[in-house]
Structure 1
Amino acid sequence: MNAPYRARLNREPSAFRKAAVPIASVLIGSMTPLLPIVASAPVLPPFGLVVLICWQLLRPGIWPVWAGVPFGMFDDIMSGQPVGSAVLLWSIILIALDLIEQRYIWRNYWQDWFIAALCLIFGLAGGLAINNFLVSDTRLSVLYPQMILAIFTYPLVLRLVARLDHIRLKR
């Protein structure tokens, strides 16, 4: 009598899927600069960083603190930024998110959005500062549209990451 249900009880999600879905989503998000979009100023949000922040805020502790190094290196290679800039900035952002998680355990949606906005602004402004130091001099006002678009795409990307998390933990 219980034979049909026995195969569905006490099953764990696939270990490969649990590990691969978050990693693949961040890497695919980092590949968005390869899309053929022509603009005179940066407009496309850093989707790799947005996805990384969404995963960390949705599932605290999913990334070790050092995860910013390989993800940042991949993002630097894909986006054409100076090598090491995203490594540094993403690592700082993950450390800050880890400290925020330890300090403020219970947060609501608006606080997470504010935290993500601060992280995105820091990541974009820090990338511009590193680029200005190494290559050219660009004003911060050039990044305002990209910052605003990145902040407003956070809820959409968070919804996508929540759906991916559901797929990841599906039995």
Structure 2
Amino acid sequence: MIDPHLYHVPRLGRHPSRFRLAGTPVITVMLGSFLTALPVIAQSPIMPPFGLLLLLAWRLLRPDLWRAWIGLPLGLFDDVMSGQPVGSAMFLWTVALIGIDAIEQRMVWRGYRQDWLIATLAIIFCISGGLFFAQITGGGNVTLFLVAPQMVWTILLFPFIVRQCAWIDRWRVMA
């Protein structure tokens, strides 16, 4: 007879692995940056920057998870995957994270609407900055008017991405 207690492992008192805790957010942001490498054909930029969305979602969902310097390696990976000039996302993401840190130090509490407003400002800053870096390095003749639908689409997609990050976060911290 097989003892059923040999196969039951209690979940109380167990902790998830360090790789699962620290690696899951980084891997999701890298996968989001990888989505820009998919072969999508469009007349204007409409694909939202999923790497940026996931970075902002993780940062606003879990403020103690990352420091501001995480924008450098994740931005470099995004630059390589998206074809932007190397250093543009590194700079823009780091500045956005520093700005979020500065805003959080001045706020007593934050709610859903404040997070969405903070993300909106960061999205507009990063997409406009990416457009600026692309233009000064000879990346074409794209105007802010053509990028506006991408900004709107990205801002409207942010709550969905936060919801997905919250779902992944529940799995991440589950023992």
The aligned counterpart of 1:87 is 90
Which residue, 150, 154, 164 being the options, matches 2:168?
164
The aligned counterpart of 2:37 is 34
Gap change, CA 1:105 and 1:57, over 3 Å in 2: farther
The aligned counterpart of 1:53 is 56
Say which is worse superposed, 96-105 or 79-88, in terms of deviation: 96-105
Q: Which blocks of at least 5 consecutive residues in structure 1 are unaligned?
A: none
**Structure 1: which amino acid aligns with 2:173?**
L
Q: Does 1:139 align with 2:143?
A: yes
- Per the TM alignment, residue 54 of structure 1 is displaced from its structure 2 partner at its CA by 0.3
Q: Does 1:107 align with 2:131?
A: no
- Per the TM alignment, residue 112 of structure 1 is displaced from its structure 2 partner at its CA by 0.6
Say which is worse superposed, 30-39 or 118-127, in terms of deviation: 30-39
> How many residues end up aligned between the 2 structures?
169
Q: Which blocks of at least 5 consecutive residues in structure 2 are unaligned?
A: none
After the TM superposition, which residues 117-156 of structure 1 pair with which residues of structure 2 at under 5 Å, given as runs?
117-135=120-138, 136-156=140-160
Tell me which stretches of 4 or more aligned residues in structure 1 moved more than 3 Å. Answer: 3-7
* Larger gyration radius, structure 1 or structure 2: 2
Q: Secondary structure at the match of 1:8?
A: coil
- Per the TM alignment, residue 138 of structure 1 is displaced from its structure 2 partner at its CA by 2.5
Distance of 2:120 and 2:73 partners within structure 1: 23
Q: Does 1:7 align with 2:4?
A: no
- Per the TM alignment, residue 6 of structure 1 is displaced from its structure 2 partner at its CA by 8.4
Q: Secondary structure at the match of 1:106?
A: coil
Gap change, CA 1:105 and 1:11, over 3 Å in 2: farther
**Structure 1: which amino acid aligns with 2:157?**
T
